[in-house]
Amino acid sequence: MVNRYEKGMEILKITNKNRIQEVFKELDDIVPDLGRFIVEFPYCEIYSRDGLDLKTRELITVAALTVLGNADSQLKDHINAALNVENTPKEIVEAIVQMSVYAGFPAAINGIKVAKEVFKKRDLLPLE
Amino acid sequence: MVNRYEKGMEILKITNKNRIQEVFKELDDIVPDLGRFIVEFPYCEIYSRDGLDLKTRELITVAALTVLGNADSQLKDHINAALNVENTPKEIVEAIVQMSVYAGFPAAINGIKVAKEVFKKRDLLPLE
Amino acid sequence: MVNRYEKGMEILKITNKNRIQEVFKELDDIVPDLGRFIVEFPYCEIYSRDGLDLKTRELITVAALTVLGNADSQLKDHINAALNVENTPKEIVEAIVQMSVYAGFPAAINGIKVAKEVFKKRDLLPLE
Amino acid sequence: MVNRYEKGMEILKITNKNRIQEVFKELDDIVPDLGRFIVEFPYCEIYSRDGLDLKTRELITVAALTVLGNADSQLKDHINAALNVENTPKEIVEAIVQMSVYAGFPAAINGIKVAKEVFKKRDLLPLE
Amino acid sequence: MVNRYEKGMEILKITNKNRIQEVFKELDDIVPDLGRFIVEFPYCEIYSRDGLDLKTRELITVAALTVLGNADSQLKDHINAALNVENTPKEIVEAIVQMSVYAGFPAAINGIKVAKEVFKKRDLLPLE
Amino acid sequence: MVNRYEKGMEILKITNKNRIQEVFKELDDIVPDLGRFIVEFPYCEIYSRDGLDLKTRELITVAALTVLGNADSQLKDHINAALNVENTPKEIVEAIVQMSVYAGFPAAINGIKVAKEVFKKRDLLPLE
């Protein structure tokens, strides 16, 4: 029988590598189960499903977090993840800019600021 | 020089065909400029950009509108558009279900209800 | 000493006239205090304050409810109220359309639909 | 070993009884896994946890859905569930009214409308 | 006749003690009436009502602010208040984690971060 | 023929003066087109329209950004802009405080904090 936790961790190794360890550490002395849920529900049950590849999954998550606008830390993580599964910086920028149409310009501008911070750290700037 | 309105309409012919005409008609006697803005800003300026193809652009819009959760009419239009540019019903369903992780289960369930209505009308059910 | 309820009701007579009676009736057999709070807090304490006239107050409320996007019934009431305190239909339309910049096009389009319904009932269409 | 699905279904039998069957039926021909996720994640993993009883869990969910304001169908289900686990109508009303402070009056009024509909069907009105 | 301000302040002495004085000070040179509104509407009119005890009221507020996701300062205050009226750290954690179901994982994780900060300051960690 | 970019920049010179240059600089090495969109869509197409003067337009934007609650940087810019087109500090404060009714007290309090920061920098405090 497939172990759900291990299956989720395998996806996470591809997308986020070190980041999940930091999340575990943050949750460790308060509610470690939440860390387990993240591995088992989003990663084992959702990201590992057929029908969309990881590249597309991470890109729509970047779009979703840009729209939400109140989860900068997670947006940063998923922009990193999106790059890790072969999205180009340009594709990520396009997804964020498009959100100006659906969630307004402030959401798009703030998303771009987060992307810029990630790209800078990974030495990917300037783009154009 | 390229005409922005015509350039936007060309994208709309590919993605939404008839729907934009209905929007124009709705706006006609109150604020027709808003119809023009939709053609010129989202469609001419955003959807026609390089870096993401229309298939991916429509899929991230489906994700964004699922997260917003208060734009069922637009979600319906963009699920139709997503199908028109070669997203499979399965891909659309996966994008919506993934939003349960970022915007909660009610948003995902309500997004699926809208998708189901569209798929039914296009005789695409059952999926599985 | 000024009675807060009466002071609030005086504002409501200017802005919403009949509507508050319907709200009272809706709340009557479940939580009538909520009706009293609406009179005493928003209307007595906020709308009656110096510094902004009722015309401007109703217009910013129309903008706010357009942004929220999940309160169509209240948006309808406040578009009526905005008209009752001398906002023109054009001013209301402009406030709603401007929200496309901050909350996206779906919010603006849905706000315009609500405005259109109100304007139609008051025989104010076509605007342009 | 404990079966997660069965464990979740046991909670659902206490809180929602018939409702989950309708949700399954809605999802059946489009994405049945989403129905399974609902049983396994919210109900098996969250609602069955120690630390809060079901009565309190359903009440905070009513508060949460009132704040979200775009999930009337789920709010109706959870008001029913809240009643099923011994919340009084008065307690539910208080939780919704309190949300006026954090999410504004429209959210609270719309939540009360949904509660009223549920209470009416269960012949619980008038409350006061 | 009961003085609304004093009645509200009595609740605040139980729930937030020093915090309201800081809020007053922040608002003092810009809009002191907003401080008075907070005492008179949420605290005098809502929190003092029958039907829910203060312990439950503070817990649903923690849930509501977790869902909103853009009011960390208020969430911190209400986690403190929730502890002050006999909610255990575990109960607060459970309420926040449950919000992952309705508002997504980022909202829950960010809520836990705020709780952790409060618990640390009150020397309540580790929980488990 | 009117140049859209120049027309937008003329509005921006009145409302935001230096701020747009900073935005351009931020976007320069990642997606300069987004800067152009801001000039051409919000400023050329929306803010320059008849039907509402710039004073009112900036005030409803302050209200909108207060409601959104996740765009503090933009709220700061538009409070500055609102002052630049002859809104008094008092009018701005009133617009923000009124949002407590529609988006809750945390949104209003957080909006006031941003306003206070702007007013302090422009040496406009105390107001009362």
All structural domains of chain D with their residue ranges: 1-49, 53-123
Query: Which of B66, B97, B100, B110 would best serve as a mutation to test chain E binding (most E beta carbons within 10 A)?
Result: B100
Q: Check if D45 contacts A (Cβ < 8 Å).
A: yes
CA distance A52 to chain F (A): 27
Largest CA distance in chain C: 49
Residue C1 confidence (pLDDT) above 60: no
Q: Looking at chain E, which residue has its C-alpha nearest residue A29?
A: E126
CB contact under 8 A, D51 and E94: yes
**Is any Cβ of chain E less than 8 angstroms from the Cβ of C41?**
yes
Identify whether the C-beta of residue C20 lies closer than 8 Å to the C-beta of residue C55: no
Task: Tell me the backbone φ, ψ of residue D30, rounded to 5 degrees.
Answer: -125, -50
* pLDDT above 90 (res E17): no
pLDDT of residue F91: 98
Under 8 Å CB pairs connecting chains B and D tally to 59
Q: Quick check: C105 and B30 CB within 8 A?
A: no
Q: How confident is the model at residue F17 (pLDDT cuts 50, 70, 90)?
A: confident
Residue B97: per-residue pLDDT: 98
Q: Are A97 and A127 in contact (CB under 8 A)?
A: no
F2 pLDDT tier (thresholds 50, 70, 90): low
With residue E83 as reference, give the H or E element that holds it.
helix E72-84
pLDDT, mean of residues A79-98: 98
Q: CA angle at residue C56 from C55 to C61, to 5 degrees?
A: 105
> What is the chain C residue with the closest CA to D106?
C71
Q: With a cut of 70, which residues of chain D have pLDDT below it?
A: 1-2, 128
* CA-angle at A108, arms to A106 and A109, nearest 5°: 65
Within 8 A of D34 by CB-CB distance, chain E residues are none
Residue numbers in E near B108 (CB within 8 A): none
CB distance B60–A59 less than 8 Å?
yes
Model confidence pLDDT, tens digit, residues B62-92? 999 999 999 999 999 999 999 999 999 999 9
Say how many CB pairs under 8 Å bridge D and F. Answer: 16
Note the CATH number of domain D53-123: 1.20.1290.10
User: DSSP letters of chain A?
Assistant: ---HHHHHHHHHHHHTTTHHHHHHHHHTTT-HHHHHHHIIIIIIIIIT-TTS-HHHHHHHHHHHHHHH-S-HHHHHHHHHHHHHTT--HHHHHHHHHHTHHHH-HHHHHHHHHHHHHHHHHTT-----
Å from F48 to nearest chain A CA?
A: 17
User: Which are the contacts of F102, defined by CB distance < 8 A and separation ≥ 6?
Assistant: C61, C64, C65, C68, C71, D104, D105, D106, F67
Q: Which residues contact B123 (CB under 8 A, 6 or more apart)?
A: none
Nearest CB partner across the interface for F70, out of A69, A112, A128: A69
| Chain D touched by A41 (CB under 8 Å) | yes
Contact E105 A30 (CB under 8 A): no
Contacts of residue C127 in chain B, CB cutoff 8 Å?
29-31
Interacting residues of E11 by C-beta distance below 8 A, sequence separation 6+: E43, E44, E47, E48, E54
CATH class of C53-128: mainly alpha
Q: Residue B18: what pLDDT?
A: 83
Measured in angstroms, the CA of B128 and the nearest CA of chain C are apart by 31
CA–CA gap between residue C34 and residue E13 (Å, rounded): 25
Give the Cα separation of F5 and F7 in Å (integer).
5
In chain E, which residues have their Cβ closer than 8 Å to the Cβ of F127?
29-31
Q: Is the pLDDT of residue E2 over 70?
A: no
Q: Does F1 score more than 60 pLDDT?
A: no
Provide the H-helix boundaries in chain C: 4-15, 19-27, 32-38, 54-68, 72-84, 89-98, 100-103, 105-121
What secondary structure does DSSP assign to A89-118, as a single string? Answer: HHHHHHHHHHTHHHH-HHHHHHHHHHHHHH
Q: Summarize pLDDT for B31-64 with one digit per residue, the tens.
A: 999 999 999 999 999 999 999 999 999 999 999 9
Interface residue of B97, B109, B118, B127 to substitute, partner D, most D CBs within 10 Å: B109
> In the CATH scheme, what is the code of domain A51-123?
1.20.1290.10
Q: Which residues numbered 88-117 in F keep a CB inside 8 Å of some CB on C? A: 88, 90-91, 93-95, 97-103
User: Cα–Cα distance between B11 and C44 in angstroms, integer?
Assistant: 51
From D60's Cα to the closest Cα of chain F, the distance in A is 18
Reported as a pLDDT band with limits 50, 70 and 90, residue E118 is: very high
* CB spacing of F126 vs E30 below 8 angstroms: yes
CATH class label, B52-128: mainly alpha
- Chains touching C (at least 3 CB pairs under 8 A) are A, B, D, E, F
Position C63 scores a pLDDT of 98
Which amino acid, one-letter code, is at F22? E
Per CB-CB distance under 8 Å, the chain A contacts of F37 are 97, 100, 105
Contact between residue E41 and residue C38 where contact means Cβ atoms under 8 Å apart:
no
CB spacing of A106 vs C106 below 8 angstroms = no
Instruction: Quote the CA–CA distance of E66 and E107 in Å, as a whole number.
Output: 6
Say what the pLDDT of residue A18 is: 83
Mean pLDDT of C24-32: 95
The Cα of B2 is separated from the nearest Cα of chain F by a number of Å equal to 14
Whether residues A100 and F37 touch (CB distance < 8 A) is answered with yes
pLDDT value of residue B40: 95
Lowest mean pLDDT among B93-97, C94-98, E19-23: E19-23
Which amino acid is located at F4 in the chain?
R
From D32's Cα to the closest Cα of chain A, the distance in A is 13
Q: Rounded distance, CA B59 to CA B11, Å?
A: 15
C·E CB contacts under 8 A? 11
- Which of B35, B39, B32 has the alpha carbon at shortest distance from B11? B39
pLDDT digits (tens, 9 = 90+) for F44-85: 999 999 999 999 999 999 999 999 999 999 999 999 999 999
Residue identified by tokens 């590598």 is: A17
Question: Which residues in chain D touch residue E52, judged by CB atoms under 8 angstroms apart?
Answer: 91, 94-95, 98
Between CA C34 and CA C40 the distance in angstroms is: 10
pLDDT of residue C18: 83
CA-to-CA separations, A17 to A23, A61, A84, in angstroms, rounded: 11, 17, 9
Q: Is the peptide bond before C32 cis (omega within 30 degrees of 0)?
A: no
Chain-centre distance for alpha carbon D8: 15
Residue of C nearest to A68 (CA): C103
- CA B118 distance to own-chain centroid: 12
Q: Do A64 and A74 touch, CB atoms closer than 8 A?
A: no
The identity of residue B64, as a single letter, is: A
Q: Is the peptide bond before B126 cis (omega within 30 degrees of 0)?
A: yes
Residue E41 pLDDT exceeds 60: yes
Q: Point out the residue among F100, F106, F112 whose CB comes nearest to the CB of E68.
A: F106
B64 near A CB under 8 A: yes
Look at F17 and E29; give whichever has higher pLDDT: E29
Helices A89-98 and A105-121: angle between axes, nearest 10 degrees:
160
pLDDT at E116 over 80: yes
Subunit contact D113:C26, Cβ cutoff 8 A: yes
